[in-house]
Amino acid sequence: MVCTWCGIVTASETKAQYLYVKSVHENQLKQDQWATESLKTINVNMVKSCSRGTPTSTTALTSTPLAVSNLDQVQPPNPISSHIPFKILNLDPSGRRRLTEGEEPPFDLGVKWTGKSLMATQELMVEQQEELINDAEAILEETDSMEDQVEEIMDMTHEITNTRDVILNALNAIRLDMGLSSNPSPTPLPTRSLTRSPSRPKPTRRTKVGKGAKSKVAKLEDSVRMSEMIGDHVVDEKTTITSLDMKMDELETKMSVRMDELETKMTTKMDKLEAKMDTMKMSEFEAKIDKLEGGLEAIQNMLVELIENKGERS
């Protein structure tokens, strides 16, 4: 019997079957020298079935009449394994003959194909796979770049949020110093951690971005707009803080001038008061001295009178 897929001649019981198989091969392959040479050496009991196809029934071989006149002269083939190695017959270990480039298989299966066309088909499949890989790598690279941009925007947003918190805390401190009620502390934004994908080689060809990438771009644009709004708010807060700082500087300057004036006035008053007190003390002391001097003069006068009166009496 003959395999309908790969063309391996399998078990044949009689010489007539062997000659029939030989004639079939010779008629189908015509100028293919392999058919004639291989049929002389293939063992009729070597192969029972084919792993790649279903062999045809042996009944067709036994029931078909053969017009062979020299059956006695035909010798059964010898086993391949014991006489002719596979390498000489250009066969692979399974018994199939290796096709050369541009050669068709032994049997027509309804599909015209050659070894060359098979290689071209395989090359086309490889090219298509490479294109798919390039497309996937391009999409992955777009995703990586968008993840990097989103991560940068999140970092900027958190930095802006921290700046806003510092500004609001400073405003609350200023309000407390001025005797006003402080606003509640701002609610911090939730933190997000993005894991960067590992670095991938740049694709050889750029492709269009799919729907998923477009949605990521839209989210990225929304994040940019939100960051711009937060940035404008922070600019307004900074402007308010700047005006408050200017007012505080003016108030501090005025208070400093006022304190200097008060200090000067107090110094002047203290000097006058000390001078007045000194003047009052000196006048009282001089008055007392004058009184004492007057009393001494009176005593001296009394003594003089007493001495004079005593002298007159003596």
Residue 127: what pLDDT? 78
Return d(Cα 36, Cα 39) in angstroms, integer: 5
Q: What is the residue type of 157?
A: T
pLDDT per residue as tens digits for the range 295-307? 777 787 778 777 7
CB atoms within 10 A of CB 226: 12
Q: Is the pLDDT reported for residue 293 higher than 50? A: yes
CB of 245 closer than 8 Å to CB of 174 = no
**CA 101 – CA 118 distance, rounded (Å):** 10
**In 3D, which of 39, 57, 43, 46 has the Cα closest to residue 3?**
57
Q: What is the pLDDT of residues 27-49, one digit of tens each?
A: 655 545 544 555 555 544 344 44
The token pair at 263 is 């200090």
Q: pLDDT tens digits, residue range 54-85? A: 444 443 343 333 444 444 444 444 444 444 44
Say whether pLDDT at 284 is over 60. yes
Local confidence band at 15 (pLDDT 50, 70, 90 cut-offs): low
146 — pLDDT class (breaks 50, 70, 90): confident
Q: Which of 108, 227, 85 is nearest to 161 (CA)?
A: 227
> What distance in Å separates the CA atoms of residue 113 and residue 205, rounded to the nearest whole number?
32
Yes or no: say if 47 and 10 are a contact pair by the CB < 8 Å rule.
yes
pLDDT tens digits, 159-203 = 777 777 777 777 777 777 766 655 555 444 444 444 444 454 454
Model confidence at 104: pLDDT above 70:
no
The full set of domain ranges for the chain reads 15-110, 124-293
Q: Which of 195, 191, 175 is CA-nearest to residue 183?
A: 175
Residues of the chain with pLDDT > 70, as a percent, come to 35
The phi and psi torsions of 174 (rounded to 5 degrees) equal -65, -40
* pLDDT over 50 (residue 283): yes
- With CA atoms as reference, report the closest residue to 13 among 43, 50, 34, 55: 43
Segment 201-205 long-range contacts (CB within 8 Å, at least 24 positions apart): 201/137, 202/137, 202/141, 203/133, 203/134, 203/135, 203/137, 203/138, 203/141, 204/134, 205/131, 205/134, 205/138
Name the token pair of 258: 């006022």
Q: What is the pLDDT of residue 142?
A: 77
Instruction: Please give the model's pTM, rounded to 2 decimal places.
Output: 0.23
CB–CB of 143/197 below 8 Å?
yes
Whether 155 shows a pLDDT value over 70: the answer reads yes
Q: CA–CA separation, 202 vs 200, rounded Å?
A: 6
E strand map for the chain = none
Out of 2-6, 128-132, 222-226, which region has the weakest mean confidence (pLDDT)?
2-6
Q: How many CB atoms lie under 10 A from the CB of residue 7? A: 22
Between these two residues, 219 and 260, which has the higher pLDDT value?
Answer: 260
CB 42 within 8 A of CB 2: no
Own/partner pairs for 245-250, CB < 8 Å, 24+ apart?
A: 248/174
Mean pLDDT of the chain: 62
Q: Could you tell me what percent of the chain has a pLDDT over 90?
A: 0
pLDDT at 233 over 70: no
Residues 201, 205, 207, CA angle at the centre, nearest 5°?
110
| Whole-angstrom distance, CA of residue 303 vs CA of residue 298 | 9
239-249 residue pLDDT tens: 666 666 677 77
Give the pLDDT band of residue 218 (cuts 50, 70, 90): low
Residue with the larger pLDDT of the pair 89 and 308: 308
